Amino acid sequence: MADRYLSFTATAPGRFLTRRLGLPQPAALHRWSPGRPSLDGDVLHLTAGTSVLGDGLAEVLARTGLAVRTAVHPAAAVRGEAGAGRPAAVVLDATGVADVDALAEVHAALHPVVRSVAHSGRVVVLGSPPDPADHHQAAVQQGLEGFTRSLGKEIGRGRTVTLLRVVTAAAAESTLRFLLSPRSAYVSGQVIGVGGGEVTAPEDWSRPLAGRTALVTGAARGIGEAVAGTLARDGARVVCLDVPAAREDLERVAGRLGGEALALDMTAPDAGAVIASALPGGLDVLVHNAGVTRDRRLVNMSAERWSSVLDVNLASVLRTTDELLAAGTLRRGGRIVATASIAGLAGNAGQTNYAASKAGVVGLVRSLAPRALAEHGVTVNAVAPGFIETRMTAAVPLFIREAGRRMNSLGQGGLPVDVAETTAWFASPGSGAVNGQVVRVCGQSLLGA
């Protein structure tokens, strides 16, 4: 369903009226398309304190395809911006910030330039993991989280702000490419950790999944269909899975993508064995997207409503993940990406069953990720969508739907492709140092952290 309010605010009368009434003024977001695959402008590279990344960061930024200009001093940054136009992105290296005085340099660096960032632009703050042995460093690095979340809520104009905690620049290349591109249009206010492990850069960053096989559950429609399409765009052979009742739509999606259809109920006791037998050559990417809702307040919720949601959204995910890992179906270097929800992080009235299941997905990711990587060479991450424009949300009553759209820093609902792009970043072979992360795709929803 079209967002008429977003369209109205793009007109001169709409801008005037919403400004006078103090109403949200969402900006149309620049999402990836073949004709416009990059941000419009260059990257301004700033440093607060003394970087711990050395020259590696400059080398990685140079490989993103965007022109990079560097300014060590804020005044130089302002002069550079004035001479070169509005930057599409600002990357602030604050990895060496270890005390309160150095934290002040974050303000000094961004204060003169943040207003100049282009519409639909990016601010990426690079921090270091808080050091449990140094409470001063841990305090100020944690302070960067509050800083970036707050900046994301005030920056406006379709811009996003993200904190990326890194150990080495090389390990963060896939994530920086994602954040400094239109693919991350609906990801803001997030804190993403990137470890220091070895990564395998794809031969072709435009088709990073070439030669890989991906299985997407719930692929017949909505977010699952968008995920399957995006993985196929990135070069993957895609196996599309959904319930037998959705076979017609499933085969249509698989046929359009040149993939394969697998009609299967994920709650079936033998689902893992059926998947393994359907993929004798193995699997590189497993996307757990299938999910259902059966909303009622707890006092009105039957046991059947409770168990049906938990069976699909959590029990089947746990069971098939265990079976596919044990069977060796997921090859080393593989990726598991599960779909959580902001309901699982913040709760939602009438969704105790759904929120429990999606919070369970978060628990799965955080517990399994280190073991899966150590024992199987597989990473485990999750996307947590907020209000996404689908047929399901189109059926929500008008005022509730409008509240869902506006209650985030970008002032609008997301699209299925926003979840798909985040999933594709997790799935990339270059994202091997991204593990155990739960990233909200919600435009920085005002619900939850």
Residues catalogued as catalytic: 354
State CA 260 to chain mean position distance: 26
Of 355, 280, 371, 281, the residue nearest 321 (C-alpha): 371
Q: Cβ-count burial of 393 within 10 angstroms (0-12 exposed, 13-18 middle, 19+ buried)?
A: middle
The helix (H) or strand (E) run that includes residue 131 is: none
Contact 140, 99 (CB under 8 A): yes
Q: List 262's β-bridge partners, or say none.
A: 241
Place of tokens 């693919």: 183
Identify the CA nearest to 390 among candidates 244, 218, 267, 247: 218
**Phi (first) and psi of residue 392, to 5 degrees:** -65, -45
For residue 215, which phi and psi values (nearest 5 degrees)?
-115, 125
How far is 387 from 115, CA to CA, in rounded Å?
Answer: 27
Amino acid identity, residue 35? G
Residue 304, Cβ neighbours under 10 Å: how many?
9
d(CA 8, CA 131): 48
**Gap between the Cα atoms of 28 and 412, Å rounded:** 9
Type of residue at 129: P
Among 443, 351, 441, 448, smallest CA distance to 406 is for: 443
DSSP per-residue letters across 153-176? HH--TT-EEEEEE-S-TGGGHHHH
DSSP codes of every residue in 271-313 = HHHHHHHH-TT-EEEEEE-------B-GGG--HHHHHHHHIII
DSSP 443: S
